[in-house]
Every structure is written in C-alpha cells, then in structure tokens.
Structure 1
C-alpha cells in the first residue's frame, strides 16, 4: 500500500471535476480504507448574470447550459454525484472562477497563460481558508493540482498549496488531466518551470479503483464532450493513460511533493 493511500486527506480541486479527472483512484482508495477523504471545490461561488461576460457566456454555450442559475445547479449536481461515486463528501467554497473575475481573463490565451500578480494575494487567502475548514486536521495530506496546462485557476491553487507547505502541511501535487493526457509535453514544461518547488514524483497504484475514477468522471455530463473532444472514447483514453503511468504493469496515478516557498518551512 502506498503511503498516500492512508490517513486523513483533503483533495483540493479548482473546478467541479479536477479531482475525479486527475486522481479519483487515489481518493477512492482512501475512502475504501475508511480514511474519510474530502473533496474541496474552490471556485464554486454563487453565480449572477452580472458576472457572466462575453467570454464566460461562450464557455456556457459549449457546456450547453446558458442560464446562470442553471450553470451552478448543473455543475454542483454533477460534482456531488462524482463525490458520492468516489465515496467522499464535497465542500464548495465561495471564490469565483477565473472566467467570472471581471476583465482579468477574457480569452483562452489569457486563461491558460500567466497568473496575474495581484492574484497571489488570493492564493494566500485560499491557504488560510483551507486551514480553517472544519475538515482540517494537523498532519493531514493535502492534494493540489500541479498546474499542467497552465490554467490560471490551477496555478493559483498550486500556489496556495506551497503556502500550506510553508505552514507545515504535507502537500502533494496531482497530474492535471486531461491536459497531461492530450499534451504530455505540458507535464515536462510545467516541471521545468517549477524547478525545485516540487520533489521527485510518487507513483500510486490504483488497481480496480480506476473504474471508480472513470465512473466519477462520467458524472460530469456537461463537461465530458468538451474536455474529451480529442477522443471518441474517454473511458479507454483515461484507462490507457493510467496504465502507462503505472509502467504498463497496473493503472496508477502520479503525485509530486510540494516544497515550501523559498526561505520558509
């Protein structure tokens, strides 16, 4: 058994789907072992029409859900169903997704570009909010996205993870999927950018929990056709990637220890 599949754990996902997509097998194994992992969705704020600009409206059309109230209802319903499939509860935080944060990110190149410097304060706020959650336990493991694909929200949550590491938490970064699946070079590019911010990867065999991960992904009916538009068989694609991660022997997921900020921890 991997050291990462025992003990208390928080799985932090920027959006409604990132944990099942990326490391649902590990979360499911922890749940099966009676360790009560919890999934935290960060950018899950209430949504009003005034927050939906032209770029956000275009995203909604791709999801085939256009009413602001309906967007949140649909996505939370999907997230809750996926969490039940994995066997863990989910908590939604009140921060707005990047596409709803005014005019900071108004196109895909900006959304998958550099994190705005002023948002580093938001990372510090998020780290403090996570430490104040009812689910928080000293010594627990915290899982955050590595930031493959460079989505600004994933980068922001990773930065929150570094701050948690600086405060003594055991933080691990998961391999963001499907970005790591359809653009493998993105993993190496992200690791090169992070440098010493992360340690050597840890491989976690997930065995039959792979099927649970796939079933959890399938719960996101509004998202699967969009995020897996590069394949006609998302189940086979996820399974093949997990097997490749496990060296062709058994399906696995990959995590990197997150180091504290320079001069801290």
Structure 2
C-alpha cells in the first residue's frame, strides 16, 4: 500500500453504530484511496437456554412490532437475523467498505445459566458485569489482535456512550493503544447529542462535515428499519427524508501527538473543526 494511504478498522458495537456515526467519513476515506473495514462485534444470537429479561423483551417487541408478552426466545434470533440483513443492505450504499460481523451476543442476550446479566435499561447503561470484564472482554481483545497480526490498521473505536457494550469496546481500544496499536475514537450518534465527553488526557476532538455524502448516508440509515422507531420516534422515515434527525457532523477523538492521523482526518472535510 502507498505509504500515504492507510487501512482503517472501524469498530461497531452493534449493526448500526458506524453507519450512524461515521458513514460520510468512511466514504471520503475510500474516495481518497484509503482502505476501510467495519468490524461489528456484538452480532451474535442468544443461546437456546436464554430467558429474555425486561429490556430484551422491550427492545424486541419495539423492533418487531409485537407486544412484550408475545416475545419468546425464537423472536430474538429472528430479530438478530433481520438486523444482519438490514446491515448488509445498508453497506451496499457504501461500496468498497469491507464488513465482518462477529458472533459475540449483544449485552441484552448475555447470560449465566440462562439468566441475563442486564435485565433493565438502567443495567444496560450502567457498569459492565464482572464476568464481562473478566472473561468476555479478554476474548474480544484476543480476537481483535488476531485480525491485525501485521499491524497494518489504524483502529477506530467508540468513545462516549454509557451502553455497556460500547464501554467494553472503549476499554478494548485503550488497551490496544497501550500495546502500540494506532488507535483513535469516534463519538457515537445519537448518544453524543446528550453526552460527549471522552475522559482521557491528551486527546482532542475533530468535527467533520461533508454534505456531499448526506444523501447516501441517509439512504443507508433508512435500511435499519427495525431500529428507526427506537432511535427517532414515530414517522422516523419521514423525518430522515425531510433532512431532519440525522446529524451532518461526525465527531472523532485523536491524540494530540498523532500527526499522521491529524493530517489524514483534517483532509476529509472542507472545513474540519478542531475543538
């Protein structure tokens, strides 16, 4: 690869996170000749013994258009399959971006002897379960390292969401960085609309805007049909098509000393805003 061109690995906790947060940036990176891959980590189905908790039922009912008391284990696997299909359709709008989906289950599906770690929304946006920290996170880190034995990638991890899956991956990104991997972070949309603090020393935020890609980003987001109600409320498709709801801004966190990353990312937007 040309020394001026780089390979980027974007880490998406769930099927929609990178498209919502980074789609325009991905497209401009590809346009400039860089290589981009998206690795969706929590794309697996729950185990057959899993008994859905309150939050799993709530989300599945909302996504599938059912009542909560109708939700059974099979519905969860149906939902995961549908979300995977939506993700594949979304990335057809971004030709050239490589995509890989891992089989680690979403937080709301993780369990011990059939019982969920995270039963409520408060649990889901709280502190990661000790078993996730001690057992699950090291497995994720080991897999991520196996993807880059030649250390050719610049890794782009989620930064600011309080969702336990995002928190685990933020920690994984910091650990990879401590081992010498080049790492930067992105603020997850729509979470950054309420909270946008990356509590690490030596990092600065870069805001990118590139309106030329907005129509394609909008079309890609619209493919995530099961998620639109939960993300954007009633008449979400109309709001998106009318130019509302989505943000043109895409936010990244880059180490102050990473001159290569700053050079590449400042070139991606007509007027990048450093804060």
Query: Which interval holds the TM-score relative to the shorter structure?
Result: 0.7 to 0.9
Q: Which residue of 1 aligns with 2:23?
A: 24
The 2-side partners of 1:165 and 1:57 are apart by: 37
The structure that is helix-richer by fraction is 1
Q: Which residue of 2 aligns with 1:60?
A: 60
Unpaired segments of 5 or more residues in structure 2? 66-70, 257-275
Q: Which residue of 2 aligns with 1:83?
A: 91
C-alpha spacing 1:118/1:84, structure 2 compared with 1 (3 Å) = same
Q: Does 1:253 align with 2:250?
A: yes
The 2-side partners of 1:101 and 1:72 are apart by: 14
The 2-side partners of 1:124 and 1:256 are apart by: 24
The structure that is strand-richer by fraction is 2
- Across the aligned residues of Structure 1 and Structure 2, the Cα RMSD in angstroms comes to 2.4
C-alpha spacing 1:13/1:136, structure 2 compared with 1 (3 Å) = farther
Q: How many residues align?
A: 235
Q: Which has the larger radius of gyration?
A: 2
Residue deviations 1:141-192, cap 9 Å, x none? 11111133x10101111111111111212211111111223x2xx11xx43x
Q: Does 1:224 align with 2:238?
A: no
The 1-side partners of 2:122 and 2:192 are apart by: 18
C-alpha spacing 1:231/1:254, structure 2 compared with 1 (3 Å) = farther
SS at match of 1:50: coil
Match of 2:82 among 49, 74, 91: 74
Q: Which residue of 2 aligns with 1:180?
A: 192
Q: Which residue of 2 aligns with 1:165?
A: 177
Q: Which residue of 1 aligns with 2:109?
A: 100
Q: Which residue of 2 aligns with 1:263?
A: none
Q: Which residue of 2 aligns with 1:262?
A: none
Residue deviations 1:213-255, cap 9 Å, x none? 222111101101211128852353355x32xxxxxxxxx4211
Residue deviations 1:101-146, cap 9 Å, x none? 123210001101122344233333312211212x665242111111
- The answer (yes or no) to whether the contact 1:165–1:258 under 8 Å persists in 2 is no
Unpaired segments of 5 or more residues in structure 1? 243-251, 260-265
Quote how far apart the aligned CAs of 1:85 are.
Answer: 1.3
Q: Does 1:138 align with 2:142?
A: no
C-alpha spacing 1:71/1:153, structure 2 compared with 1 (3 Å) = same
Residue deviations 1:47-95, cap 9 Å, x none? 3443241321221101016523321220110111112212212111121
SS at match of 2:10: strand
Q: TM-score, normalised by structure 2?
A: 0.77
The 1-side partners of 2:154 and 2:245 are apart by: 25
The 1-side partners of 2:181 and 2:245 are apart by: 30
Q: Which residue of 2 aligns with 1:237?
A: 244
